[in-house]
Amino acid sequence: MYLQSQVEEPINLPFRLVSGTIGQGAYAFIRKACPLKDVKPIIAVKFINKEQAFRIGRLTQKKLENEVILHKHLGKHQNIIECIGFGGDPSWLWIQMELAEGGDLFDKIEADEGVGDRVAHLYFTQLINAVSYMHDKGIAHRDLKPENILLSGGGNLKLADFGLATLFRHRNIEKRCTTVCGSPPYIAPEVLAQRSNKKGNELESGYQADKVDIWSCGIVLFVLLVGNTPWDEPTMNSYEFMEFVKLEGRTTDELWTKLDSSVTSLLRGMLKLDSAQRFSLQEVRTHPWFTERNPYLDARGRIANPVVLATQMLESLHIDFDSKPTFTPHRMDAMDMDQPQISMTQPETLVGEMSLDWERVPHFQEGVSLSQPTDIRSGGTISHSLLSYLAEDPSLSQFTATPAVPLTLTQQARHFKDIMPSFSLTRFVSPRSLTLLLPLLKEAMHRLGIPATERITDSGAVVEVKTIDGRKQALAGAILVERYNNELLEVRFLKKKGDPLEWRRLFKKVVILCKDAIAVPEH
C-alpha cells in the first residue's frame, strides 16, 4: 500500500477499503472506502504516516490535529470537501472525507491556454462561495492553489486540503498570523516581504489571513483564464512581478494582454500590494465581471448543464504533435528538496518510491479482433477494430487532430462524469513493446534535462520523476507502464507533488518527443 513506510499498515479500520491508491504525497496516500457492511457510500480516506509527517514534514501532533478539527468545524458546504470523521493508531492518522468523484479540476485544463471566460467565471464563483463560507466561520485556508481544487461527480468545484488552515477570527476577535506558508506562485507578498531572520519562518508583524486568501483566489482566477501563473513569486526576484508593481498593474506581459478589461480590473483589485486596499470578498462579489450572468450556473450556484460543460472542456484539451517542446532543464539536488523555506502541506522533501497499488483506469474489453492490422507512425501495427474502439475512450481524443467527444457518450450522457473522466488525463497507449518504449521515455526525460530512474515491475515498469518546474517549484511523480491488452501498453503519468498544470505541461513535452510510439484513435 505504502512502499516507503517501515511500520505496519493500518488494521482494524472502521471501514472497508475498496480501491487502490488514488492519491499519494510525501507521507500520505488516499484510497476509496465504504462502510464495513454496505457498499455505499463510497468515501475517500487520507492515511497520514505520523513518523514521516513528524520527521520529513516537520509537523507536530498538534498541527495534524488542527487540520482535522478545523476541517470538521466547517461542516457541509456544496463547494467544500466534507470531513466525515477521523481516527488513528500509534503509527497512522486517517481522515474520512467526501469523495471528489470528478477528480482534479486543473488536470482538465490545458496548460498555457486555460479555459473560456465563462468556464473560468463559473469555477471562480464557486471558489469565492467556498472561501466566503470559510471566512464567515473565522477560518482561512492559506494554501489556495490548483492542487487543492477538486471536482464533484457533477463537475462542481470542491475545495480540499486544510493542512495550513487557521482560525483567524474567534468570538469577533481577529488575530494576525505569523507562519510563512503557502506556495510561492500563489502566496501574497506580505507573507514573504516581512520574513524575520531571527525567527525563521515567523513574521515580525504578522498578516491578515483572510486577505491572503483573496490574493490567492486572484492568482487562481488568472490561471483559469490563461493556463499559467503571472509570476514565480511576488518578490522583486521575479521580473514579471517587478513590472506589475512598477506599472501599478498595467503590465505589458503577454499573458495579461489576453484578458479583457473587466476581469483585469477585478484582478488588479484582488492583487493590491497593500492588503488594506485589497478588495474584500464583498467587493469581489459586487464587481461587474463577477455579477455577469453565466449560462453554466443555476440559481443555486451549481452547474446548470453539466454535459455541455464537460463536452466543451474535454474538446479544449489538445496536443499538437507538430509543435516543438521547449527545453528548460532544472537540476534538483538534495539541498533543493531538503531545505523548504515555507511551510507546506506536502513538503519539498520527497522520499520513497511511488506506490504500485494505484487504482487502474477502466479498460476496454480484451479480445478485440486482431484482423486488418494498420501501420501507424510507430512502425508497429494495430488492428483497425482496436483503433476504432480506442476512439470511444474520451481521454484519448486529445491526441486527434480535432478532439471530439465520442458520439456514443454524447447520446447517453446525463452527468458531467459521463463525459469527463475522473482519472487523470495525462496518459496514452502505445503498440511498442516495453523494451522499445522504455528507452524512448528515458531519452525524452534526458532531452528535457529531468533526472529519472527506472525499475522493472511484474506488470511493466516505473520511471520515477523528480525535478523543478518552470515556476521553480518541486514537481515529482512517476510514469507507470503497464499492459493495456494483448496489443497495447498503457502509460500513465501519476503526479506525487506539484502543480497539476505544470505536470500536464511536462506530459505534453514527453508525448511530443515520443509521438511515433503513440496510438492515435480513429474518428
Listed in sequence order, the residues at least 6 apart from 69 whose beta carbon sits closer than 8 Å to its beta carbon are none
Phi, psi at 18, each rounded to 5° = -130, 15
Cα distances (Å, whole numbers) of residue 411 to 310, 406, 415:
14, 9, 12
Dihedral sign (CA 253, 259, 262, 264):
negative
* DSSP character string of 200-256: TTEEEEEE-HHHHHHHHHHHHHHHHHHSS-S-SSSSTT-HHHHHHHHTTT----HHH
Pairing relationship of beta strands 460-468 and 373-375 according to DSSP bridges: unpaired
496 annotated ligand-binding residue: no
Catalytic hit among 107, 143, 232, 499: 143
| Whether 91 contacts 49, CB under 8 Å | yes
Helices (H), 286-433: 306-315, 334-338, 384-390, 407-412, 416-419
Q: CA 270, CA 215: separation in Å to the nearest integer?
A: 6
Listed in sequence order, the residues at least 6 apart from 178 whose beta carbon sits closer than 8 Å to its beta carbon are 202, 203, 206
Q: CA 80, CA 91: separation in Å to the nearest integer?
A: 28
Residue 143 falls in the annotated catalytic set: yes
* DSSP character string of 381-395: EEEHHHHHHHTT-GG
Binding residue positions:
46
Which residues belong to the annotated binding site for ATP? 46
Enumerate the active-site residues.
Answer: 143
